[in-house]
Amino acid sequence: MIIAENSLVSVYSDSMAFLLILGLTIIPRKRDAVDGTRERMFFAMCLLSMINALGSCVAYAVHGQSGSFFMSIELAAKTVLEVALLLMTYQWLMYVDYMLYRSRDQLARRYKYFFLPILILLVLLLVNLFTGVLFTIQPDMSYRSTWVYYVLMAVEYIYFALAFGIIYQYSAKHKHNQVFRITPIIIPVILGTLVNILTDYSASPLGFAIGLVLLYFSFIDSFRYDDEKSGYYNRSYLVGLVEGNEKGADAFCGAICFEASGDGAKELPEILRSELPAKSTIAHIDGGRYILLTRSRRMSDLGFIADMVEDAAEGKVSISTQCFTRGKDQSAAAFIKEAAGV
């Protein structure tokens, strides 16, 4: 079996994509003890990406070989890669939503209907093996796609774009440190897809693989400042403000510390989320202690906010609040250090 040179490029590229994702899945890293859902969803995307790369690799390896045996293998491989890609775009959409809102109920509520087109297309992909309703491999070894195949592609692109729309909407609404660095992820995916569309070479599995690696790297980096449980900043962010590694400390002139004990510590983040503006700068110090940093230094403003939160918590959670204002000659770093106790 001799592989044509242009197919060789694709086989090479898909093999590299497979190797890259393989490392991501088998190299041990800090286990996500807090959020197994996120870990499982990310692992599912990696697995689907590997299947996509493998299917593409096999399809290109046998492409152009004469004989019905090789044509059958090519058809099967292409079906496998399309199934993997379809499921990956759906998984990506749900992953983005979960990363931002951390609610499995919301996932079940919002996305059960989004699965319907996926299910129909999955059935069509299986039916395609026998009927050619999506694509066929002609006797001259070329692909022929029907209009239904473009519907499949449109669904994939729409789901992908929808995910980025959710990220953009969330970022515009919340001041909280961005969960994803979008650009490093989206550029390789788009470039890989463009190379696929414009040339005879396969590069989209490689683009997806690079995007997944950078996605993982982006939240390794943000681990430093993200509190996994609450979704707010963590203690390291406050330390970063105090030590000058993070900008923006000078803007803060007031602070309110909220403290809940026992089971109340789990409910406090939700109460804060419901009562305080979406763009508030809130950090989890430790245990049941959270701190809100404000631009206002007026004790009346801080007292108002503290009362509002205490009223919302009444009957549910026992919390205590303490307000701080920055002295006129006090540096931002010293103020945050005093208020948060870091």
What the block records as the tokens of 232 is 């707010």
Integer Rg of the chain from CA: 25
- How many angstroms from the chain centroid is the CA of residue 169? 14
Contact with another protein (CB under 8 A): which of 27, 33, 116, 172?
A: 27
* Stretch (H or E) spanning 93: helix 68-101
Burial class of residue 169 (count of CB atoms within 10 Å of its CB; 0-12, 13-18, 19+): exposed
**3 forms part of the interface with another protein (CB under 8 A):** yes
Task: Please identify, using beta-carbon distances, which residue of 94 and 214 lies nearer to another protein.
Answer: 214
Largest pairwise CA distance in the chain: 84
β-sheet bridge partners, residue 292: 256, 282
Length of the chain in terms of residues written: 342
Per DSSP, which regions of 4-152 are E strands?
Answer: 135-137, 143-145
Q: What's the closest the beta carbon of residue 321 comes to another protein, in angstroms?
A: 28
Residues 194-213 vs another protein: string with x where CB under 8 A? -x---x-x-x--xx--x--x
CA–CA distance, 88 with 193 (Å, rounded to integer): 15
Alpha carbon separation from 238 to 10, 246, 254, 256 (Å, rounded): 48, 9, 14, 14
**320 forms part of the interface with another protein (CB under 8 A):** no
Interacting residues with another protein between 152 and 181 (CB under 8 A): 181
Task: Please identify, using beta-carbon distances, which residue of 48 and 185 lies nearer to another protein.
Answer: 185
**1 forms part of the interface with another protein (CB under 8 A):** no
**187 forms part of the interface with another protein (CB under 8 A):** yes
**8 forms part of the interface with another protein (CB under 8 A):** yes
CA–CA distance, 278 with 269 (Å, rounded to integer): 12
Residues 240-279 vs another protein: string with x where CB under 8 A? -----x----------------------------------
Q: What's the closest the beta carbon of residue 315 comes to another protein, in angstroms?
A: 37
Applying CB under 8 A, the span of 32-40, 48-56, 130-138, 184-192 interacting with another protein comes to 184-192
**188 forms part of the interface with another protein (CB under 8 A):** yes
Yes or no: say if 296 and 304 are a contact pair by the CB < 8 Å rule.
no
Task: Please identify, using beta-carbon distances, which residue of 45 and 213 lies nearer to another protein.
Answer: 213
Query: Please, what is the end-to-end C-alpha distance for the chain in angstroms?
Result: 66
Contacts with another protein, residue ranges (CB under 8 A): 3, 5-6, 8-9, 11-13, 15-16, 19-20, 23-24, 26-30, 181, 184-185, 187-188, 191, 195, 199, 201, 203, 206-207, 210, 213-214, 217-218, 220-221, 224-225, 236, 245
